[in-house]
Amino acid sequence: FGRLDPAAGKVTRWALGGDQNLAGLAFDQQGRVWLTQFFGLEVYRFDPASNELCTYDTGAPSYYILARDGLVWLGNWGEDRIYRLDPDRGRATWWRIPGANATPVGLALDASGHLWWADSSRAMLARLDPALGTMVTYALPVGTTPQMITLRHSRVWYTEKDQGTLGVLNPALEAGTTTSLASGSQPLESTCRSLGGGTTATVERETGTLDWVEGAVEPILDAGGFAVYQLPAGSSPYGLAGSAGVLWTADRGRMKLLRLQLPEVETVFLPLAQWRAGR
């Protein structure tokens, strides 16, 4: 894994050794980096100030990871679980998603401490209440493979890969289905070692401008608590993030960057971006 310094044009890399397939990445309040493996059992915490690497074993592979308020959340696809790690207390708590082949991705925490995710295997959005041990699920009205989510203004925005749509859920207007989850806890132990200062190298940097193509997208569905917007043919939106009243998403299908003005009403103004110079 590496750390890029764009201003200096430098990248520093650290090698974990062995067979690795690093996937999720998150930062905690101390600026430490948390990493997951898609197929491995280990979760890593790296402190760039001291170069210390601590390894935690939850016993099953995880994918997406989220850190907040001293806790670390994992979307665990190997055992159909949501994990909450408490490194300071040395405990791991888990809740099992009923059924089989759950794929929890796109984690987010709301203001009430509920964990949200998209389940790309089950065509649904889900919310965990860790205090009650319950899960509320919301079946997608359009599409079957939700990917990433972000929370904005008490709404849950999500991308859907195969149908090529962008959707938003207002939980206040959608009842969902509530299920009590089996849960448990286990000791969380770690082993720590130094990775050293890493290896620093110069990176090549290309600069350019963006060609913006403006377009309006109307909802193809607006009922109950859901609104769904169909993106142009060939779209496959994945990553999703919000900043300063704007949503950004990466369109894997068309190799484009999309910028969505967050609506206070249900209409959307959607510019599309594409790099120049051969893109």
Q: Tens of pLDDT along 190-214?
A: 999 999 999 999 999 888 888 888 8
Contacts of 214 (CB under 8 A, 6+ apart): 269, 271, 272
Quote the DSSP letter at residue 215.
Answer: E
* CA 66 to chain CA mean position, Å: 8
Question: What pLDDT, on the 0 to 100 scale, is given for residue 262?
Answer: 67
Question: Using CA atoms, how far apart are residues 95 and 70, in angstroms rounded to an integer?
Answer: 19
Position 263 scores a pLDDT of 61
- Total-model pTM: 0.90
Which residues of the chain are under the pLDDT cut of 70? Answer: 262-279
φ, ψ (nearest 5 deg) of residue 251: -95, 95
Residue 216 phi/psi, 5° resolution?
Answer: -110, 140
What gap in Å lies between CA 67 and CA 84, rounded to an integer? 9
pLDDT at position 99 is: 87
Q: What is the pLDDT of residue 250?
A: 94
Residue 236's identity, in one-letter code, is S
- What distance in Å separates the CA atoms of residue 49 and residue 186, rounded to the nearest whole number? 29
- What residue type is assigned to position 202 of the chain? T
